[in-house]
Every structure is written in C-alpha cells, then in structure tokens.
Structure 1
Amino acid sequence: MSTPRLTPMLEQYLSFKGEYPDCLLMYRMGDFYELFFEDAEVAARELQIALTSRDKNSDSPVPMCGVPHHAFNAYASQLTEKGYKVAVCDQVEDPRFAKGLVKREVTKVLTPGTVLDDASLQAKESSFLAALFWDADERAGGLAWLEFSTGEWEGLHARDEAQLWQWVEKLQPRELLLPDMKTPPRHLPELGIQIANLPLKPHFHLATATERIVKTLRVGGLEVLDVADKPQLVRAMGAILAYLERTQKQTPAHIASFRPLNLSKHMLLDEVTERNLEIFRRLDGRKGPGALWNVLDRTVTPMGGRLLENRLRKPWVDLETITANQEAVRFFFKEDAPREALRRALDDVYDLERLTTRILLGRAAPRDYLALRHTLAALPRVLAPFAEDGPEDARFLQERPKALGDQLGAWDPLDDVRELLERALADNPPPAITEGGLFRQGYDPRLDELMELTEHGEARLKELLEREQAEHGLPKLKLGYNRVFGYYFELSRAAGQAPPHFERRQTLANAERYLTPDLKDLEDKLLSASDRRKDLELALFHELREEVCRAGARFKRMGQALAVLDCWQGLADAARANEWTRPILHQGMDIVVQAGRHPAVEAVQGSANYIPSDLTLAGESRLLLITGPNMAGKSTVLRQTAIMAIMAQIGSYVPAAKASIGLTDRIFSRVGASDNLAQGHSTFMVEMMETARILRQATRRSLVILDEIGRGTSTFDGLALAWAVVEELCGRGRKPDSREPGGIRTLFATHYHELTQLEGKLPGLRNVNIAVKEWRGDIIFLRRLVPGPSDRSYGIEVARLAGVPARVVARAKELLAGLEKKARDSRAPQPEQAACQSVLPGLGAPRAEAPRPEHPLVEELLNLKLDSLTPLDALNILGEWRRRWGGDTPKTF
C-alpha cells in the first residue's frame, strides 16, 4: 500500500500528534472534532461511532471519525473513563479572517485525573491526581494528591515505602504520576488507577519543583507550607504542578494552599480496614445497601458528601475537635425546624466548589454561571433558619454551639456577585458562549442596540417605510429585498415622483427601485448586527468572567461553609432517622456499649429484626475471645464495634442505647480473606500478611478485630498461630511493675475452642460467645453476646440450614459421634499438649481429669419447684445465691 499524500490539514494534524503521541488527538474542523489514522480507529471502537475515511477514492484512504462539537464533553468523558488521554486541538483564530489554513493549538489535554466535567465525576466522591516519589538512598518518600476539580490537595512524607503504597490504595487516585523506571505494585491497575511515568527531570527535580510551588501558591518559601524538611514530598508536589502545566496549558490558579498530612491528628484506617468494614462499598465492590456510607450519608449537596467522605477516611483523635463537632450535630439533632429548613435551602445549592474551579480556569459554560447565580440566590435561605428575627420555625437559638457560631459569624452572602449575575445573565442562555443570547436587555447600551436590531429588525424597516410614506405622500411606496441589491424601496410609475434623496438602483417595466442613505445604513446594521452582537457578547462575557473570578477565594470559603453545615445536618438527620445516640468519648481505654447495632445490617434487615448486643472491653479486659457457630453473628459484632468507634470520632451519633468509647488511634481489621492470585498470594498468605501488619503497627490505643486467624492451614499450625497471636496481643505493652493493664484492645473471634482455656492464664483475656438455643433438633441464633465460651461449633446444624443434602448431614453426625467418642477415650501424652489436642482421628484428646464434686447450686437448682414459684420468690432466691456464691460485684465481659 502506498503512503497517502498528505494535505496541509493532515500535515498540521500529524505535527500536533507528534507532540502528544500518548494522547488521542481531537482536531476541531468546523462544527466537529475529528480524529484520523489510528486515533480514529481507537475512538470509533471505544465510542461505538462510525469509522469512515478521507480520500475514499484514493489508493490509501485515511481512517477518520468525528463527534459534534456540542457533544464533545460527553464523548471525551467516555474516553477518559476508559483511561485514555485526549488532546484537544482548537481553532485559535476566526476562520472568516484566516489566510489559508486556520491556525490551531492544543488548548488542553484531558486525562483521568484532571477532568472537570460533571459527566465524568461522581458528585459526592473525590477524584484524585497523585504523584509518588521514593528516594532509596535517603530511605524517604512523599505522596501528594490533588482533587483537581476543587483545588484541595494534601500530601504525606514517610520513611516506609510500603506506607506510601498503602495510601495509594486507600485513596485510589484516578491517575498516579511516577518517575521513569519506577514500577508500581502489579495490582494497582486492577483498582482502576492509571499510571503515568514521567521523566525525572524536570517533573521530579527538586529545584524546579520548589520554584513551581513558590510561584503557583504565591508563598515566600517552603517553610510556610511546612515542607522545607520534606524534599521527597516537594518533588511529588512539583510533579503534579508540572503535569498540570503540560495538560492544562495554564497556571492552575484555583489550587488551594497545600496541607501536609499530620498522621498524629487522625485515626488511621488502611485500605484493608476500609474494605473489611464496608465503609464505602460492600465486600463485592459495589455501593448501596450493606455499606456504612449508604446509611450515614444524608447530606444534600455534593460538597457536604465529599466532606463526609473525607472525614470517614480520616477521623479525628483530638477530643476537643470531636466534641465541638458533636455539639454542632447535637444542635441539629434536637432542633427539627432549623434542620428541615436548612435541608430545603441546601437543595437549591449547586456544587459551588467545582463551579468555582471551572470558572477560574475558564472552562465554565453559560449554564455554570446560571448555576452559580442560583446558588448565590439560595444563600439567604440557608442563613434564614439561624436569623434572630426569623420566623418561629426558623429561630436563632442563643445556645447554638461555638462551631456553628463561628461558621455563621464568617458568613459572606456574596450579594454583589449575585446582583451582577442577575443583572447580566439571561434566564435561558445558549450552551456555548459564541452563540449570542447570553445577556439581559439593559446590561450594556451597545448590546441593547444590537439586540434591538437582531430581534426587531423587521419592525425598524417597517418604521422607516412608514416614515418615508408619510413625509413624502407616497402611500403606495413598497419595501423589498433580493440577494443582488439587498433592501430597496419600490415605487410604481403611477404612484408619484420619487423624492430627491432617493437613488435609483434598478428600472423595471412599471416601477423603479431606489436606495436611500437611511435604508442603506439600516441594512448595513441589520446584516452585521448578528455577528457584531456575538462578538460583543463574547467580549462582555470575558469581562464578566474576570469580575466573577475576583471573588474566587470568597466562593471557596462559602463552599467550605456550606459543606460543613451540610455535613453536620446530615449526621443529625441520619441519627434521628435511625434512633442513634450520642456517644461519650474519653481519653481512657475502656469501650462499653449497651444495645449496640450494626448500622448497615440493621438498615437492610429492619430494626424490628435486629437483636442488639452489649459489649464491655474495660478494666483488666483487653481481649475478648468470641466463640460461637457460623451465622451466629460474630463478624457482625466485631464490625459494629469498630464502625461505632469511627462514627464517634467524626462527631456522629452511634447505633446504641449507650456508648462510652476510649479514643482510638488506629483500627485494624482482619475479617475474612480472599486469594490474590495476581500477586501470587493464597488466601492464607493474604491472611498472614494482614496479621503481620497488625502485629507490627498496632499500639495500645489501637482497636483490633480479628476473625478466624489460622483457618487456612493445618489444624496444629493454625491453632498454634492463633494461640501465639492471642498471647502477643494480650502481652503487648504490659509492664511487670505497673498496675496499669497492658495489652491491645482486641475482639478475637475463633472456632478454636482450645483457646478458651486461656482465660485466667493470660491476663486481660475474657471468654464471650454468641448465644445459641437448641429447640427440637433445630438451632436458633439469639444474636446476643454473653459471658463464657461456646459449648460447641454447631457446624453440622449450620450446614443443614444451608441446604446440604440430608444424607450428607446424617453421615456427618455419625462421623462426629465417632470422633467425639474417640476423643473421650484417648489420652494426651503430656500435660502441656493437652490444651492443644484435636478431636480428629489419630490425634488424641485431652486426658480425663479426676471427677470434681458438684457445686451446691446444682442441687438447689434441681430441687426447685418451678410450677409453684412466684416472681418475687425467684428474685429472693437469686439474691440469696448471689450473696452466698456470687461475690461482691457482678462480672463484666
């Protein structure tokens, strides 16, 4: 096949394509964006549009496809969602005045991490562009992440590379920038993270990065941002700014001041814990019922939803901050009228943060300015529920919390911008700023005249005709138009003599056609009015944008204020709807919950079908060993305790009758596991990796929830591992000469009943179990946490409930009876081994102990005459038994 002969247009296309080889180049031609060659084939396949060709009759036709310019955003968002970069090549001169080929430039590059269009973004989810730099020589690194659509960015400096990758998985940025030759973990693309490898220089160069940061953020030095001693983080920040300069073709003026993340101020939740606790998504990766977010999010605005998401990812550990937010949530919880009024007002608020970004970057369409005007008009209604002179159902309460008062005290109504937009913008502007019709009548005198001409040109012509007829006594004078002469007056020969200022242009058989200076002037105005109007409106729109941009910082402050109010009221509304209670938070280590529930499970099952559980992790008790059959609810109890700690430390109410929670610096969870074959990790390997992370990183103030440690290997291996893990968690931080109890707060669910013998041997360990009742051969799950170990696993009964065939269940019961008999008859060779023996064939069982005398209580229980016992008699008997055998204080679990 011969090489196609390139036209000047295709040569221009290929010159831009050479500058952006990793992008799909969308080339503006008239009313379409066109793609050629391989780009056309890719786009046609991904967008499901027709693939045609240029020069079809030649020997080497050029593949091409295109999309209408008015539908560009929708098609471009599809490509970025699929991970492609799109270079947008626009016409940068008016084709009417172009000599030869119209001048074009790549005006922006759309990438997964830099999209701004609402169609490409989830309203209540952050979309991050991140950069990671690791210095192996210094053994230090930095990770910076930017929410490009809002301009908020943060970063983390760490001495552990694994910690940086953990945060990448936790944040799941849409795009991650790495230096050349830096290889990410193999599973990152599976998470939907697009990797962009960039040259070390200039993107990650320290001096260049410093210069970019100081210039972009307008600061005197890195000390202002608290990153002067974090060069690796500076390099990551610089890479983001360099990437934005290349893709956005302008300085990102909307970026806020950088905030390095101080891990000591937040509860740490790694990506494993977020996934296991189903904070944002269920374990199957989907959103919806079953995830905490689905229950907790009652925010109205996108800003409020993103703020709630951010707080859930990074709960506070500062008691003062938590209490201040609790007080604000309590205000909205108690005051129904202000909360409902605020919700109604917030319903008229658009995404002010993302609107501001599009305006500041010059990417806003007329509808965005209309949305801004609508939002500013809603601000007085947002403030009204707190006005002192407001109506009774929207009164201002003097006892309002300080945090709420601070937000209201800094309120900026932005009346000046709202009045400008109301005076300027038409109610129904066109989609594009080049089409005219953007402004109201009366905004600009010059525009008013052009609007009058374009919208009322026929009336002006008619007025001129009527004036000529009246002034010169020519009632039969007519007005006409043709393409050759344009507008003209026509006067028949019998109608009279033409006035002196009439200029003859054409003679007909029975009439003459004339021009006048006024008609010619009006015609010129009419014919050019449309183009002049569009040009003037475009200029006025740019002036309006500059005026609005001056208030950009004010928009950002009010966007944050609206988000905070929305987050508070949303938490209060969720608490009222689900009957949650305010938890007591303290600096101690105890966790005491009365009638606790799992918010997501309760939402699915219904409150009437959910059985609450009490839980006490207090005093000497630091590890609760939870036993019970599958399906009884062990994992639910584990999860709900951790979830309540998270909810409490974002200022939320919790699903319990009462809750007292000691502050938690980090939550670790190992609840279930799955293969990760892509990394060569089996289920057991994943389980052990998660366990290793917990044992290495947990502190005394952490909360650990573990479910079924050691079940993925042989019985002895698994039991030994579980035993050793329990010992480590109970003994961590325990000082021999201190009265203060040691150990890490842990909920440990297991099927290894041998571990229950550790109560009394390991300090801080207490046995509890999920109550089960047998009734006529069936088992009933009571879903209650009660003291003591479970008597057995009920695995065969659970198998029967799951639908295992009856013959298999019957055979399993026969085998179990035989195994249990063999266990009773066997003897353990050594005392230390007795606690670790299994009941599997050939492994022996604990040796029989000498019979113990029965407790007197047993005899008294057997002699009770229940049929004649009154409630009062029963209470008296229980009191007597407690006095004789129960001790002075009840046991806790």
Structure 2
Amino acid sequence: MTQYTPMIRQYLQVKADYQDAFLFFRLGDFYEMFFDDAIKASQELEITLTSRDGGGEERIPMCGVPYHSASNYIEQLIDKGYKVAICEQTEDPKQAKGVVKREVVQLITPGTVMDGKGLNDKENNYIASVNPFQDETFGLAYSDLTTGESKVTLVTEGIQNLLNELATIGAKEVVLPPGVDEETLRKINERNDLTLSYENETSLDPSFSHLVESLDQEKLKVSAARLFQYLFRTQKRSLDHLQEAETYHIYQYMKMDYYSKRNLELTETIRSKGKKGSLLWLLDETMTAMGARLLKQWIDRPLIQVKEIQKRQTVVEVLLERFFERQDLRERLKEVYDLERLAGRVAFGNVNARDLIQLKKSLQQVPVLKHLVQTMGNEATDALVSDLDPCEDLTDLLEQALVENPPLSIKEGSLLRDGYHEELDQYRDASKNGKSWIAELERKERERTGIRSLKVGFNRVFGYYIEVTKANLHHLKEDRYERKQTLTNAERFITPELKEKESIILQANEKSVELEYELFIGIRETVKEYIPRLQKLARLVSELDVLQCFATVSEKRHYTKPAFNDERRITLHDGRHPVVEKVMGAQEYVPNDCFMDAEREMLLITGPNMSGKSTYMRQIALTSILAQIGCYVPASKADLPVFDQVFTRIGAADDLISGQSTFMVEMLEAKNAIVNATQQSLILFDEIGRGTSTYDGMALAQAIIEYIHENIGAKTLFSTHYHELTALEEELIKVKNVHVSAMEQNGKLVFLHKIKEGAADKSYGIHVAELADLPQELIRRANEILTHLEREENESSVSRSKAEAAGTKEKTNDELNEELAQLSFFQTEETAAKESPLTSKEKKLLDELKKLDILEMTPLDAMNTLYGIQKKLKK
C-alpha cells in the first residue's frame, strides 16, 4: 500500500470491502474505476481504458463515466448481473485536510434496483435469502424493495422444491449465509442465473425487529432477518416501507414445478421467452401496474380453497353484469399510478415533486372508485372497497403545496405554490420586484444613452451586467459605468446601483431555493407517515383491478363461470385453448368436450401429428388454472375438481447447462410427476418414450400408464403415437381411448381437430411431411419404405408366432381344433351372416381365409397362420 498515492490507497481500502462489485469512486465530476475494475468495465461498457500514475512503478489502469450520466452505465452493469458500489465524497473539498473523505453510500445490485429501465412496471423485482438447515429444509424469504412486500416460508422435501419456488418468484438475487456447500450453490444457480450475495448477520437493530416479530418459528425469523439485514447494510438508509414478513405455505396453492409452468406457457412462451402468446398476455386487461403484478402472482399461485375461489368469482360475476359501471371503473383505474412503488420511492428518499403529483392524482380517484363499486349493490363488492382509504389529509396537503407541473429537480425551486409558506412568498416577492427593477433599469438606460440595443443581462459567473456593442461605446460618457467583461463585439459594465440590487435579488433567489428544498423535504417526511395506509390502499386497488380484468376478459372471450365438485369429475362442453383461440379467432377454433370421472381416470389420446393432441391437453390444464385463480373459463359449461398439483411432460427440450439430454429431461419430468402426484392431481404426458428406441419407449410408456392407473389414480391425459398401447383399454378399466380425428380428401390429409371416442387407426406421419412441403420425390420414397417395413413386420410376426408355437407344449389335434373353433373370427360365411351382417372388412378377411384354404392345413399350421392374421388385425 505504501507505494501508492494517498488517493489510490483510499480507493484500495474502500475496495477491500466490495470485492464482488464495481466501485464507482467519485473524483470531481466523474466516477472513476481502477485496476481490474477498470479493465472489465471498459469491456462491458465499451468505454475507453486509460491509465494514470498511482505512485507505483507501473501506471494503473483507469476508466471513468460522468456522474450526471452514470445511471445509464450502472443500469447496463446491473442488467448483466453485476453489482455497483457508489462511493461519494462526504466532505467539502475546500475544507478537506489532505485526501477528501469518501465512503460507499449505496450498493446497487440486481435485487435492489429502485428505478430506471431495469425495472419492469408489470413485474416484481424480488431479492431472496436462502437458509439451508441440517434437517434438509430450507428457509426462503423474499422481498421487493420497490414495493416493500416481504414473505417467508419453509421449503421441505429437498432442493428441487426450493428451485421451483425461486423460479416461481423470479428472484434476481439470492442472499446466502457464508459456507454454503458447492453442490447447493451449483443447483441454485444453474437454472435461474442468479446473482449470489452473502450475509452473515441475522440480528436486526431493535428499531426494525417488528419486521420479524410475528413469525412463530426460529427458522423463519433467521431467514427473514438475514434478508432484511442485507438490505439495511447495502442500502445504508431507512427503509420505512418494508412490510412485516408474511408467512405463507407452498401447499396453500396449486403446486406447479418449473417444467410445468414452462410447458404450459403461463407467463412467458417457450420460444421467445416473452410475454406475448402466454396466458398472462391473454389475461392482462389490468389498468394499473400494480394490478398487472398481482395478476402474475395469482397465475403463479392458483388457489385450492373453494371458498376463496368463489369469493373472487362472485365479484367477477357482479362486475360482468354491470357493464357501464365496469367501463367507468376501468377509466378511473387508468388514472391511478403505481402507489406501491411511489410509497417505496418516498421511503427510499428519491421521490421528486412529479412523483407526489402522481400520488395526489391517484388519491383523488379513490372516492370515485369506492362510489362506483358501491352503486353495484352487492355485499361481495361492497366488502372489497369498504376499506379503501382516500387519505384525504394527505391529498389536501399535496394539493395546497405543489404546483401542477413541477420541474424534475427538487433543488432548483419552482416546486411550491404561492401562498403555501409566508417566508417563501416574501423571498419570491423580493426576487420578483428586483427583476422588475432590472427591466425598468434597462428601459431608462436606453432612453438616457440613446443606445437602443443596450441590454441588461445575467449569467452565473458575472451576475447582472449592462451590455453595449462596441459600435455604440462612444455614446457612453459617464464615469459611473465600470467595465466588467470584454467580448468580441461588445463590452459589459456594471453600475453601483446595479451591483446593490444584484445582491438583493440573488440573495432572495438563493434563500428562496434553499427554503423551498427544505419545505419539500418536510412534505416528503409527512408522506412517509402515510406509507402503511398507502400500501394497504394499493393492495385493495390491485385486487379490484385484477377482478375487473377477469370480468373484462370473460365478457370479451365469452367465458363461462365454472362450478366445482368433490367427486373428481371433469365436465367440459365446448372447451377451448384460451391463447390459441385468441390467436386464431373464435370462428376458426374447433371446441372440444372432455369428460372424466371415477370410471375414466385416464384418457389415452391418439391421432396424427399436428392434429391438436397437445393443444387439447394444455387447454384442460389452462382451464383448471383459470378456474382456480377465480376467472371464468373458455367453455360453454364447466364442472371441475380442485386440483392440488399440475404436472406436464410436453415437448422436446434438452438441458445443456446441467448436461442432460432430451430423453433424460423427459424421464426426470415423468419421475417428478410419478413421485409427487396424488389422486387430486392432474397429469399431462405427451409422447412419453419417444426419445429412445421404439421398444424401450413403448415399454416405458406402458409401464408408466399402468403405474399411474394402479398406484396414483390422478386424472391423466396421455397422448401417444404407440398405437399398440390402445389395447390397454381392455386391460385397465379406468383407461379410455380417444383420438383426434382426421380424414383423407383427394389424397390429402385434412385435420378435423375434433376429439372422438376410440383409438386412431393411422398416424399419417408421411401425410404431415407432405403438408410441410417436403420434396415429392422424398415423399414417394418414404411411402415405398413404409410399405416395405410393414410387409417385413407382418412376415416376421408370422415367423415369431411359429417359433413361439413350436416351443410350446405339444397339443393334440382335438385340443387345437377346439381352440380354432373358439376364435371369434373363425366362421364360415354362412354362420357369420346368420349371427350379424358382415362388414366389408370382414368379407375381405373371409376371402383371404378361403384363399389360404386353412381348413386343409394341419391344426398347428392353421393356428400359427391365424395368430399372425389376428396380430395384424389388432394393429
């Protein structure tokens, strides 16, 4: 350290406490970075890397950004997952003895961003703390610093449940205790791409202990306290808007793992990772940012208590019926700004006058919202708005104090109304009269000197001055003009009277601005006292906004109110996939029914590729989720059970980060469902087993079906191209075959997208390839190969049957003849016709049997031949 200059030594001392962050070190009008920070920042921000003499043998790498535009650079670094420590000068350089004192005033991280482009108005910005305990449970606390919302829970049954929760809340940063094992760190970070931070302290200052006092378990308190302590330590200010940690339990809500939410595209699509095309995109008819955030929370956590669901349904029903009142409500909600984040900015100390004007306008809408809802005359809606608090005293204060269009800066005046404060009015009057005197002086001097271009001006360096062009200098004959500044084409002067008035005006201006700033800070401190009331108001307005959103979507999309039953029965008439229907248009979408009860626990779905099997499966799950968040559903009739969990295995995807193949991901998703599902769950399995060989895949698929049927009993939709599995309907009493119909028309495949009873007879794979416009030569060749493979399969089937028969215990001719007689299709044409009319296929079969002259064969040969034909027919 001794080799460096005092300033560089100071930098290194501060940097020692912030090794994992970029240190923005304030030097005059720049934030400077040195050493490795400078090298890395120059690459990430694409700014020039320079160097300076730091006192050592070699020059020190250095780069910097202007302090007035630093926020843009900080946002870029935070967006890439980095942390930035802001180190400011904490004493006046003019009064400093030696190096100016500096210290870090804030650590900005992905989880503690308070404003800027990095924040999405419609999404929470959560920071979480994870606390592993020895009994394999995890304490999980999370908070949104922008709104003050804080929650905590205990996660049991392994780290996978923890990862699912982190994915559900979308945490940007995770705070851990020191010493967490590497395997846990790897698992936490491999999928969520989180910024990791560490906090050892869990003892809160007594003034903040109320944040965890209501928690009844020590594990919960430790988890929440670690998070709060990290926030206080890094933000270095009072966070009055942080709410008491609220306990929740994962099993209070419908449980969906990371894969299921991704596969169902609840809040973002698989391909684009964007909102468009997701269920959230379809539903978002909210009018406020805080309503949009609550909507996402509800989609992530559907309810499982029927009474709570029905409470939401009742409000939606009333709002749906009262169209005009609902439209007025939407217009008023549009005028409500983000009360949650405004309260956060007030507490954080970075609120400006424009923010407070937004707060005032929002509060002015509250009495109107309350009146509109109360005119609907329903107990449920009245209860929802009974506690809406307009904070009238605060509204009056803001109305009396602030001008309607204040400037962005709070340090340059012009924020407060005339008449708000007597002393401020006096300063303003002095300043205003002084400026009038200046204008009068300019008029008089022009008349007295005869110089029409003479002007009285002002700048921050020289103050007030009289400016005369050089061409008119000969008109000035009085000694009272004192030269102040020479320009190219003019001279600037002052007079004793002007200098005296300047002192009065500038003093009034300066004092006015200083007093106005102090008064604004006082107003801000008063607003802080209302934060708990504002946060409660925000929650109620958000809930009202989401429920009107449900009513609006339900009306626009012609959804129906679902009923719930305890018999685990699904009855859907004219069900639709909500998102696909919106994209296609209601006129084009083909609706389908679904019925499942105690006798129909599992639907085995067959049909061509692209015919709509996956869409049908997803629409059942999405309909259940919509119902359990309290919304109406896309169907003409809906009677549903309440599902505790939804599991999906849809689509092909690998996981390169953790080194897992497509088939391994498929098996892990299947395992997750099989291990965790209950009789109250819903399982969607699409094409299980296709990632391996045909026989392996078919064997696994059948074993999975049998296991769910015999051991779990969950409602299951299982789509497959293994047509051999359709035979399970005869063996497993609760498995039923359905198929998505298609037809050939003029040699072309036409999808009907209609679910019908029974199994599909063909896969139409080559037809689909033809629809994809593959070359005709390729299509012809594929048909040739298919014909050849089918012929080979038939021949090998007969050979296997013969081999199997040859290996069996020898039977007498009488025994074999008796078995032949019992085969249902072994009849003469006359006998068959007597019992029932023959179909064309049966006639064709009898013709083939005649050609074989099967009755002239030995009984053993006949049996082998007939078993081969029987197997072919079953296909």
What does residue range 181-220 of structure 1 map to in structure 2 within 5 Å?
Answer: 181-182=179-180, 183=182, 184=184, 186=186, 189=189, 191=191, 193-198=193-198, 202-203=200-201, 208-209=202-203, 211=204, 215-218=207-210
Given that 1:134 and 1:232 are in contact with CA atoms closer than 8 Å, whether structure 2 keeps it comes out as no
Match of 2:407 in 1: 430
Work out the CA distance in 1 between the residues paired with 2:186 and 2:55. Answer: 47
SS of residue in 1 equivalent to 2:561? coil
SS of residue in 1 equivalent to 2:16? helix
Work out the CA distance in 2 between the residues paired with 1:648 and 1:856. Answer: 54
Shift of 1:26: 1.7
SS of residue in 2 equivalent to 1:27? strand
- Alpha-carbon deviations, 1:383-402, whole Å to 9, x = none? 45335xxxxxxxx122x251
Match of 1:886 in 2: none
Match of 2:745 in 1: 775
Shift of 1:628: 1.3
Match of 1:407 in 2: 384
Given that 1:304 and 1:563 are in contact with CA atoms closer than 8 Å, whether structure 2 keeps it comes out as yes
| TM-score (structure 2 length as normaliser) | 0.83
Given that 2:210 and 2:244 are in contact with CA atoms closer than 8 Å, whether structure 1 keeps it comes out as no
Shift of 1:852: 5.8
Match of 1:811 in 2: 784
Return closer, same or farther for 1:708/1:356 CA change in 2, 3 Å cut-off: same
Match of 1:312 in 2: 299
Match of 2:631 in 1: 652
Work out the CA distance in 1 between the residues paired with 2:46 and 2:313. Answer: 51
Work out the CA distance in 1 between the residues paired with 2:457 and 2:743. Answer: 97
Shift of 1:186: 3.8
- Alpha-carbon deviations, 1:151-190, whole Å to 9, x = none? 1122221332222223223333101122334234646545
Match of 2:418 in 1: 441
Given that 2:464 and 2:494 are in contact with CA atoms closer than 8 Å, whether structure 1 keeps it comes out as no
Structure 1 residues 562-571 or 601-610, which shifts more? Answer: 601-610
Return closer, same or farther for 1:515/1:816 CA change in 2, 3 Å cut-off: same
Say whether residues 1:271 and 2:261 are aligned partners: no
Match of 1:49 in 2: 47
Match of 1:525 in 2: 504
Paired amino acid for 2:198:
L
Paired amino acid for 2:47:
I
Paired amino acid for 1:696:
V
Say whether residues 1:699 and 2:678 are aligned partners: yes
Say whether residues 1:638 and 2:617 are aligned partners: yes
**Unpaired segments of 5 or more residues in structure 2?**
445-453, 467-479, 484-492, 809-821, 841-875
SS of residue in 2 equivalent to 1:536? helix
Given that 1:128 and 1:174 are in contact with CA atoms closer than 8 Å, whether structure 2 keeps it comes out as yes
Given that 1:624 and 1:746 are in contact with CA atoms closer than 8 Å, whether structure 2 keeps it comes out as yes
Return closer, same or farther for 1:485/1:545 CA change in 2, 3 Å cut-off: closer
Say whether residues 1:140 and 2:137 are aligned partners: yes
Return closer, same or farther for 1:327/1:118 CA change in 2, 3 Å cut-off: farther
Structure 1 residues 656-665 or 575-584, which shifts more? Answer: 575-584
Return closer, same or farther for 1:604/1:147 CA change in 2, 3 Å cut-off: same
Return closer, same or farther for 1:506/1:521 CA change in 2, 3 Å cut-off: closer
Match of 2:152 in 1: 155
Work out the CA distance in 2 between the residues paired with 1:484 and 1:316. Answer: 69
Match of 2:230 in 1: 243
Shift of 1:109: 0.6
Say whether residues 1:560 and 2:539 are aligned partners: yes
Work out the CA distance in 2 between the residues paired with 1:776 and 1:301. Answer: 54
Structure 1 residues 56-65 or 751-760, which shifts more? Answer: 56-65
Which of 825, 849, 868 does residue 851 from structure 1 map onto? 825
Give the alignment's Cα RMSD to 1 decimal: 3.9
Which of 378, 391, 395 does residue 418 from structure 1 map onto? 395
SS of residue in 2 equivalent to 1:677? coil
Match of 1:40 in 2: 38
Q: How many residues in Structure 1 have an aligned counterpart in Structure 2?
A: 796
Return closer, same or farther for 1:58/1:803 CA change in 2, 3 Å cut-off: same
Match of 2:215 in 1: 225
Return closer, same or farther for 1:99/1:310 CA change in 2, 3 Å cut-off: same
Return closer, same or farther for 1:68/1:452 CA change in 2, 3 Å cut-off: farther
Work out the CA distance in 1 between the residues paired with 2:136 and 2:187. Answer: 23
Shift of 1:22: 1.7
SS of residue in 1 equivalent to 2:731? coil
Given that 1:796 and 1:813 are in contact with CA atoms closer than 8 Å, whether structure 2 keeps it comes out as no
Work out the CA distance in 2 between the residues paired with 1:513 and 1:580. Answer: 79
Work out the CA distance in 2 between the residues paired with 1:268 and 1:291. Answer: 19
Shift of 1:755: 1.8
Work out the CA distance in 2 between the residues paired with 1:334 and 1:571. Answer: 12
Work out the CA distance in 1 between the residues paired with 2:297 and 2:494. Answer: 76
Structure 1 residues 405-414 or 369-378, which shifts more? Answer: 369-378
Shift of 1:460: 3.9
Match of 1:720 in 2: 699
Paired amino acid for 1:822:
E
What does residue range 477-556 of structure 1 map to in structure 2 within 5 Å?
Answer: 522-556=501-535
Return closer, same or farther for 1:385/1:861 CA change in 2, 3 Å cut-off: farther
Shift of 1:380: 3.9
Shift of 1:94: 5.0
Structure 1 residues 655-664 or 722-731, which shifts more? Answer: 722-731
Given that 1:585 and 1:660 are in contact with CA atoms closer than 8 Å, whether structure 2 keeps it comes out as yes
Shift of 1:466: 11
Which of 754, 757, 760 does residue 727 from structure 2 map onto? 757
Percent of aligned pairs sharing the same letter: 36
Work out the CA distance in 2 between the residues paired with 1:677 and 1:143. Answer: 27
Match of 2:435 in 1: 458
Work out the CA distance in 1 between the residues paired with 2:122 and 2:823. Answer: 63
Match of 1:748 in 2: 718
Given that 1:505 and 1:514 are in contact with CA atoms closer than 8 Å, whether structure 2 keeps it comes out as yes
Work out the CA distance in 2 between the residues paired with 1:641 and 1:442. Answer: 64
Which of 269, 282, 306 does residue 269 from structure 2 map onto? 282
Match of 1:732 in 2: 711
Paired amino acid for 1:277:
L
What does residue range 78-89 of structure 1 map to in structure 2 within 5 Å?
Answer: 78-89=76-87
Return closer, same or farther for 1:11/1:421 CA change in 2, 3 Å cut-off: farther
Shift of 1:800: 2.4
Shift of 1:756: 1.4
Which of 787, 790, 796 does residue 757 from structure 2 map onto? 787
Shift of 1:317: 0.6
- Alpha-carbon deviations, 1:701-748, whole Å to 9, x = none? 011111111222223322222112111211225xxxxxxxxx211111
Say whether residues 1:104 and 2:102 are aligned partners: yes
Return closer, same or farther for 1:94/1:351 CA change in 2, 3 Å cut-off: farther
- Alpha-carbon deviations, 1:176-217, whole Å to 9, x = none? 122334234646545453342526xx33xxxx44x45x7525
Match of 1:664 in 2: 643
Say whether residues 1:262 and 2:238 are aligned partners: no
Paired amino acid for 1:193:
D
Match of 2:487 in 1: none
Match of 1:21 in 2: 19
- Alpha-carbon deviations, 1:795-821, whole Å to 9, x = none? 222222233423432333332442453
Say whether residues 1:578 and 2:557 are aligned partners: yes
Return closer, same or farther for 1:8/1:368 CA change in 2, 3 Å cut-off: farther
Paired amino acid for 2:366:
L
Match of 1:796 in 2: 766
Paired amino acid for 1:318:
Q
Return closer, same or farther for 1:63/1:799 CA change in 2, 3 Å cut-off: same
Work out the CA distance in 2 between the residues paired with 1:593 and 1:397. Answer: 31
Say whether residues 1:822 and 2:795 are aligned partners: yes
Return closer, same or farther for 1:4/1:574 CA change in 2, 3 Å cut-off: farther
Work out the CA distance in 2 between the residues paired with 1:114 and 1:338. Answer: 39
Say whether residues 1:604 and 2:583 are aligned partners: yes
Work out the CA distance in 1 between the residues paired with 2:833 and 2:663. Answer: 44
Given that 2:373 and 2:382 are in contact with CA atoms closer than 8 Å, whether structure 1 keeps it comes out as no
Structure 1 residues 682-691 or 849-858, which shifts more? Answer: 849-858
SS of residue in 2 equivalent to 1:287? coil
Work out the CA distance in 1 between the residues paired with 2:442 and 2:743. Answer: 101
